[in-house]
Amino acid sequence: MEAKDVYELVGFNSTALIVRAKTGMDFDAQAGGIACEHPGCEGFVIALPEYATEVDDCPLGCWGARPGKQVELADLIDSHFVANPHPFGFTVDRERIDELMEGWWPVKFTLLGSMQTGYIHTGNCD
């Protein structure tokens, strides 16, 4: 197995979109509030300054991935995407809803004309 470079998004001063791609670089984040999860993904990062920072996902996701609350959290996030459209056309990737937690949103979106998957990281509420 080839070693990958790992980059932490701690201290990243923007909303981050991590696009899933074979790059040899893993991006890890602290998410899940006080559960202090450290999800990660291979790909590359696109900064989304100030996007979705007003979405308060902490009450529904501050204990990490919470079965039973993830659909409610996905609905909250998708309602934000509808009310505040982005050119990439984000939606929560409900096929990966079990990964959804505070600060770590699995998403689908269009980039350069094709459907992509990745994660939006908005920081950690704790």
| pLDDT tens-digit readout, 18-75 | 999 999 999 999 888 888 888 999 999 999 988 888 888 887 767 766 677 889 999 9
Give residue for tokens 């001063």.
13
**Residue 105 covered by a domain:** yes
Domain with 75 in it: 5-121
From residue 35, give the alpha-carbon distance in Å to each of 41, 62, 78.
19, 7, 23
Beta-carbon contacts of residue 19 (< 8 Å; ≥ 6 apart) = 43, 44, 45, 46, 111, 116, 118
Considering the domain boundaries, does residue 14 fall inside one? yes
**What's the rounded Cα separation, in Å, for the pair 101 and 67?**
10
Q: Is residue 126 part of a domain?
A: no
Q: How far apart are alpha carbons 40 and 93 in whole angstroms?
A: 16
Q: How many structural domains does the chain have?
A: 1
Is 53 part of a structural domain of the chain?
A: yes
Beta bridge partners of 37: 31
- Rounded CA-CA distance 30/2 in Å is 24
Cβ contact 31:22 at 8 Å = no
- Better pLDDT: 88 or 3: 88
pTM of this structure: 0.90
